[in-house]
Copies of this chain bind each other. A is one copy, B any other.
């Protein structure tokens, strides 16, 4: 017997429609690539999104057609979020930091029909234009005055002309909530990038969840600045959640240096900002060097990479800004965990509280997680045992776009289907998860797992060590044993034995690396991450010293 409640689907268009009707006067402030500060409101964003939807119809963009963007955080990008998904097409945000060939590959794989780009990315457009096979309209997100000359073989359209040419009457269709609403490719350290295809339903459920007090705690009283880019997993869903709650939204455009971010935060009285550690490093450096304070910022959500403990303390102790460690994946819409304290932690000494806050945190309803060994057996939640981290939920992918990579899920003994994150983690008795390694980097020695990251962090405490990677190298008796690979600081010196001695008393004896290789460089990826797979290839012929 069905319940008798109204059939109202969960649609992206409902967010901007709600915002228009119930807090249409709230501001959306953007630093434009043109250089100035632009102010609009949710009501105007809604009006222009409707004009844009008409323009997309006129361009022949049909239901479920993909519309690509190469764009910063700004109001025009926000308008595209609502226009494209609202009309039933799929917003495909592309990461402009990828190599042009990779961008072209992704656009072709996604079969993008249109491409919208911020002026900054004209050089990319020039390079990819000859490579793109399905894009039929390329739109510069600017006005006539700022229009660049069209590159050879492309006739650029002007965003503001498209918007002006169409009326603002557009009835958002009552779509099936399971329809695709947006598409984001994973960076793909190995193999081709793979697309996570979000639905209207998953997008709304993710929006609902990140708003909760124990997650990002977003309210109409906030002024929110997503510094995390709208071109990557929808800026962690913040543009949707800010629209829904009626928070003022501040979009920093391409000016992500410490000074620009700080000045915009202060000018617009930002209460909550979200970003990755590297960008916050620049912000804190600027604020520190100039003896400044945060006068409105209450909290920041930090993710994308592990929150360095020193950054956590700087935000909280020096500046009184709560730093909330978050973890997620493109495949998870993206938020998986957030580290908010539980009541039993209220009376903890600061150092103990910081130890918890440095963890990746707890899941919220809609995400379930567990850690398992290689045979799929559940591991205890004791904060010590670590295993492969699996997740499931309505905002987690079940497969990649166009079946790329086959079936990514694993089935457990209960018959539940889980997504293996590729991370290795501990979970403590209070439900706090902490990533200890990537699954492929963990070192498996005699049936026991050793965290490569733990060993690297210890190596980095040695003053001579500039960079450290720990990899598992095949071993006749133990399957694998840890090999420490280090780059020394210029002019510094350290011996093998000296480096191994720092592990004494800090890890169990059997976890201490068996050998050290001092190298000139460790291979790095485009985003600065160490490529341990390359390193393992490099040390494929390595032989352990005789015992």
Contact = CB atoms under 8 A, between A and B. Distances in A.
B220 A343 contact: yes
A88 to B, nearest CB: 10
A346 B271 CA distance: 14
Contact of A213 (B23, B218, B368): B218
Interface stretch (A14-22, A145-153, A251-259, A437-445): A14-22
A155 to B, nearest CB: 28
A374 interface: no
Interface string A373-400: 0000000000000000000111111111
Query: What class of interface size applies to chain A in its complex with B?
Result: 35 or more
A217 interface: yes
Contacts of A355: none
Given A5-B201, A213-B213, 5 more contacts: A2-B180, A4-B197, A10-B394, A18-B365, A221-B346
Contacts of A400: 4
A343 to B, nearest CB: 5
Interface in A72-128: 90
13 contacts: A3-B179, A3-B197, A3-B199, A4-B398, A7-B394, A10-B394, A18-B368, A212-B212, A213-B213, A214-B220, A214-B245, A221-B341, A221-B342
A1 interface: yes
A10 to B, nearest CB: 8
Contacts of A248: 343
A22 B214 contact: no
B5 A343 contact: no
A180 to B, nearest CB: 4
A431 interface: yes
Contacts of A205: 208
Of A179, A180, A209, A212, most buried by chain B (CB within 10 Å of CB) is A212
A198 interface: yes
Contact of A397 (B4, B21, B22, B341): B4
Nearest to A342: B220
A22 to B, nearest CB: 5
Interface of A: 1-8, 10, 14-15, 18, 21-23, 63-64, 90, 171, 176, 178-181, 196-202, 205, 208-209, 211-214, 217-221, 244-246, 248, 333, 340-343, 346, 362-363, 365, 368, 392-401, 414, 417, 419, 431
Contacts of A2: 176, 178-180, 199
A84 to B, nearest CB: 13
B4 A245 contact: no
Of A10, A211, A362, most buried by chain B (CB within 10 Å of CB) is A211
A221 B343 contact: yes
Contact of A219 (B201, B212, B397): B212
A414 B401 CA distance: 36
Contact of A5 (B6, B198, B341): B198
A5 B397 contact: yes
Of A6, A362, A399, most buried by chain B (CB within 10 Å of CB) is A6
Contact of A398 (B7, B23, B214, B392): B7
Contact of A21 (B21, B340, B368): B368
A181 to B, nearest CB: 7
Contacts of A220: 214, 340, 342-343
Nearest to A14: B365
Of A198, A220, A419, most buried by chain B (CB within 10 Å of CB) is A220
B22 A362 contact: yes
A392 B8 contact: yes
B14 A178 contact: no
A196 B4 contact: yes
Contacts of A197: 1, 3-5
A32 to B, nearest CB: 24
Given A1-B179, A211-B212, A245-B212, A6 B221 contact: no
B212 A3 contact: no
Of A2, A22, A218, most buried by chain B (CB within 10 Å of CB) is A22
A393 B90 CA distance: 25
A414 B171 contact: yes
Given A8-B394, A219-B213, A368-B21, A3 B180 contact: yes
A396 B178 CA distance: 21
A13 to B, nearest CB: 12
Contacts of A401: 4
Nearest to A64: B1
A246 B362 CA distance: 12
A488 B343 CA distance: 53
Nearest to A206: B5
A363 B22 CA distance: 8
A395 B365 CA distance: 19
B396 A199 contact: no
Given A213-B211, A214-B245, A1 B171 contact: no
